[in-house]
Amino acid sequence: MSALETGRPDRSRRRLRVILILMVVAWLPALPFAAGAALTSLTGCQVNEANTYPCPVAGHDIGELLYGLMMTGWVLIAFLPFMALTLLLAAGQGLLMLVGAWRRRGETRHETHDRPRHDFRGG
């Protein structure tokens, strides 16, 4: 029974879903840090680990917010091995899917060569 008949995804698609979920979980802490880095770059404010600095934007001081966002970078250090692992898993799954597609393409190519060819020359 094929995956289409059962309504369930095949093994490689299930594996890919699990890897994508792991990637979201592992890379989620990078979002606040990236947002803080982008805001710091856009506003031109000074941010470092030593202290918070005033950063007025539209009449509001976002220095504390930027400090908090940039300090999540320290959390990323703990997540780096998991982030690298998810990249390796995704690359491995991608290779497995490419090899599977290559094999399926080879099988269909052999099937088309085994069919009798029609001679349309009229003879």
Which tens digits make up the pLDDT trace of 72-101?
889 899 999 999 999 999 999 989 889 988
Q: Is residue 67 part of a domain?
A: yes
Q: Which residue has the tokens 């880095």?
A: 37
Q: Is residue 121 part of a domain?
A: no
Q: Is residue 78 part of a domain?
A: yes
Instruction: Tally the residues of the chain.
Output: 123
Question: Cα–Cα distance between 99 and 84 in angstroms, integer?
Answer: 23
Q: Residue 24: pLDDT above 90?
A: yes
How many other CB atoms sit within 10 Å of the CB of residue 2?
Answer: 6
Residue 70, domain extent = 10-112
Q: Is residue 117 part of a domain?
A: no
Could you tell me which residue, 8 or 69, shows the higher pLDDT?
A: 69
Could you tell me which residue, 117 or 50, shows the higher pLDDT?
A: 50
Q: Is residue 28 part of a domain?
A: yes
Count of structural domains within the chain: 1
Per DSSP, the three-state class of 44 is coil
Q: Is residue 30 part of a domain?
A: yes
Q: Is residue 122 part of a domain?
A: no
Question: Cα–Cα distance between 39 and 60 in angstroms, integer?
Answer: 14
